[in-house]
A = this chain, B = another copy of it.
């Protein structure tokens, strides 16, 4: 039984008010794999060009990320995205998007991935996500979907088909409003959960995240940081921490989903401390537990005295 992750593996070039990166390794599935592999082995589905560094693939393999499902198109180029963040670090302009190998990506689920118990559909074209769902012979115990406004704009019909087969959806607050057509996040959550997902996670960046399920709500804090160095991949890292914890514990209760969101938040708070995946590569169990303890102090209160 295993965790299967689908998403892009790519190059990014990032500009922030505080600095500028070279062309560095990025992509949703890359961040998810670096993060989730702290908790459980990962079976990766993606596509890269001949320009993608072998050292990166080797480093992931060394972390028990199975790359059998990663297609390497030797004569093509990897997906490339370049963007510039504004002062608030919540909004950004896309400077360059070169789809390259991603433009014609047809995922193939290896036979060895058919034991998939937990499926993480990273941010990617809904048609690719649907293809993976169709190729799996058994429905996963939990399917988690990360998506974005871009797909709501250009591929809403496909996205709705994925949503109907999704257990947990992750979007940010403006995307929840766009998808539901409702400004109130509480009403937006009801509308979106009627589209398929039994659980909805609304990510609010520096304001934390909300988890909705039936009539229940959980509000996770974000760690207040003196500096957000590079927000790229924070959402993917959050997804990786969430699904990594769920896959490790195999506990699908609402209470454990709360804990999984805290794990995702803790991992994301590390991610933004340096450019790209750099910080994720440095941290291990001790650092993770230290940050989780900070979250307990951050959110814990005693109401017994009232």
Residues of B contacting A219 in the complex (Cβ-Cβ under 8 angstroms): 208, 221-222, 224, 298-299
Contacts of A303 in B (CB 8 A): 259, 262, 292-293, 295-296
Restricting to A271-306, which residues have a CB under 8 Å from any CB of B? 288-289, 292-293, 295-303, 305-306
* Interface status of A185 (Cβ within 8 A of chain B): yes
A225 at the interface (CB under 8 A from B): yes
Q: Which B residues lie within 8 Å of A245 (CB)?
A: 306
Please, which residues of chain B bring their CB within 8 A of the CB of A204? 207
CB-CB contacts below 8 Å: A105-135 with B: none
Number of copies of this chain in the oligomer? 2
Asked if A210 is an interface residue, CB under 8 A from chain B, the answer is yes
Closest residue of chain B to A293, judged by CB? B303
Main secondary structure of the interface of A (DSSP, over half): mixed
Q: Which residues of B contact A183 (CB under 8 A)?
A: 87-88
Q: What residues on B are CB-neighbors of A141 within 8 Å?
A: none
A298 → chain B closest CB, angstroms: 5
* Known interface pairs A225-B186, A226-B187; A258-B208 also in contact (CB < 8 Å): no
A259: contacting residue among B87, B227, B262, B302, CB under 8 A: B302
For A245, give the chain B residue with the smallest CB separation. Answer: B306
Query: A residues touching B (Cβ–Cβ < 8 Å)?
Result: 87-88, 183-187, 204, 207-208, 210, 216-227, 245, 249, 251, 255-256, 258-259, 261-263, 288-289, 292-293, 295-303, 305-306
